[in-house]
Amino acid sequence: MDEQLPVQVTLTEIKTETPSVKTFFFDRTFAFEPGQFVMVWVPGVDEVPMALSSPNSVTVQKAGDATGAMFDLRVGMGLGIRGPYGKGFTRGEKMLAIGGGVGAAPLLPLARSDCVMTLLLGARTEKELLFVDQLDESTDVIIATDDGSLGQHGYVTDLFKEINPAVYDRIAVCGPEPMMRAVLAAVDTIGFAAKTEFSLHRYMKCGVGICGSCCIDHEGLRVCRDGPVFSGEQLKKSEFGHYTRDASGRKKKI
């Protein structure tokens, strides 16, 4: 397969996960490392990056034109898939994973690879929690919700204060960027930034490191090619957690 060209796939199942998130299953499997992404082409609308939540699925939060159009698709309709691309998570023997909202999607295949000892899972409310039953089958899941509807009342970052990070040899994080920035501050304080990895989501055009639309300050790292998974050491002095960029490259405060 020429990885620069989209492969047409047919939707075989569309599963509603939460009021704002659906998983789209297709008739082709892709070999990938947890944390890698694909470029998903929605015919007539746009092509956008999405993490694989399994070898034959992407889990999508309705947030823009392309994802909104995907929510109108039905089984039997088609998408274009290009990839997988980028750098995935570095696996360890005893891993801690921290997921917030739809950030649980790239952590699901990591948990299924039998290397995650504990997963801290957060969402605004119980109804927005992703993959609780599936994750429970693979790891020890500890939950926090902003409104206290399930698990600890508070943020997923509050759960980090109650565990012993020294137990784990690697930490994988994915979720809203302010949450991940808070985790970076916490792990940096205890000297664990180098063994903690964060999955970034940025606007992308090419997905293969050519166009530069996903570059981040201060070193110009390309999220599509050098990431989307970066170590905390790489991100400490970057724009991570402070601002993102729109399609024109203009900075947008988070």
Residues 110-119 have pLDDT tens digits of 999 999 999 9
Residues 228-243 have pLDDT tens digits of 999 999 999 898 888 8
Residue 173 lies in a domain: yes
Q: Kindly state whether residues 131 and 18 are assigned to the same domain.
A: no
Q: Kindly state whether residues 244 and 122 are assigned to the same domain.
A: yes
Residue 90 lies in a domain: no
Q: Kindly state whether residues 12 and 128 are assigned to the same domain.
A: no
Residue 2 lies in a domain: no
Average pLDDT over residues 61-90: 95
Residues 35-71 have pLDDT tens digits of 999 999 999 999 999 999 999 999 999 988 999 999 9
Burial string for 233-245 (b: 16+ CB within 10 Å, else e) reads ebbeebbbbeebb
Distance in angstroms (rounded) separating the CA atoms of residues 131 and 11: 20
Percent of the chain whose predicted confidence (pLDDT) is above 70: 99
Q: Where is average pLDDT lowest: 126-135, 212-221, 224-233?
A: 212-221
Which of 38, 63, 85 is the last residue before a domain boundary?
A: 85
Per-residue pLDDT at 61: 95
Residue 108 has pLDDT above 90, yes or no: yes
Q: Kindly state whether residues 57 and 117 are assigned to the same domain.
A: no
Residue 1 lies in a domain: no
Which of 85, 105, 124 is the last residue before a domain boundary?
A: 85
Per-residue pLDDT at 63: 87
Q: Which residues contact 211 (CB under 8 A, 6 or more apart)?
A: 205
Confidence of residue 217 (pLDDT cuts 50, 70, 90): confident
Percent of the chain whose predicted confidence (pLDDT) is above 90: 80
The CATH code of the domain that includes 129 is 3.40.50.80
Per-residue pLDDT at 89: 97
Q: Kindly state whether residues 99 and 207 are assigned to the same domain.
A: yes
Cis peptide before 201 (omega within 30 of 0): no
Overall pTM > 0.85: yes
Q: Would you say 228 and 235 are in contact if contact means Cβ atoms under 8 Å apart?
A: no
Q: Kindly state whether residues 144 and 239 are assigned to the same domain.
A: yes
Residue 2 has pLDDT above 80, yes or no: no
Pairwise pLDDT comparison (214 vs 32), residue with the higher score = 32
Per-residue pLDDT at 3: 58
Q: Kindly state whether residues 136 and 207 are assigned to the same domain.
A: yes
Q: Kindly state whether residues 29 and 147 are assigned to the same domain.
A: no
The CATH code of the domain that includes 33 is 2.40.30.10
Q: Would you say 3 and 83 are in contact if contact means Cβ atoms under 8 Å apart?
A: yes
Is 115 annotated to bind a ligand? Reply is no
Per-residue pLDDT at 1: 42
| Number of compact structural domains in the chain | 2
**SS3 sequence, the chain?**
CCCCCCEEEEEEEEEEEECCEEEEEECCCCCCCCCCEEEEEECCCEEEEEEEEECCEEEEECCCHHHHHHCCCCCCCEEEEEEEECECCCCCCCEEEEEEHHHHCCHHHHHHCCCEEEEEEEECCHHHCCCHHHHHCCCEEEEEECCCCCCEECCHHHHHCCCCHHHCCEEEEECCHHHHHHHHHHHHHCCCHHHEEEECCCCCCCCCCCCCCCEECCCCEECCCCCEEEEHHHHCCCCCCCEEECCCCCEEEC
Q: Kindly state whether residues 117 and 240 are assigned to the same domain.
A: yes
Residue 205 has pLDDT above 50, yes or no: yes
Distance in angstroms (rounded) separating the CA atoms of residues 30 and 50: 13
Is 211 annotated to bind a ligand? Reply is yes
Q: Kindly state whether residues 196 and 75 are assigned to the same domain.
A: no
Q: Kindly state whether residues 133 and 181 are assigned to the same domain.
A: yes
Print the domain residue range for 249.
Answer: 95-253
Q: Kindly state whether residues 112 and 236 are assigned to the same domain.
A: yes
Residues 131-162 have pLDDT tens digits of 999 999 999 999 999 999 999 999 999 999 88
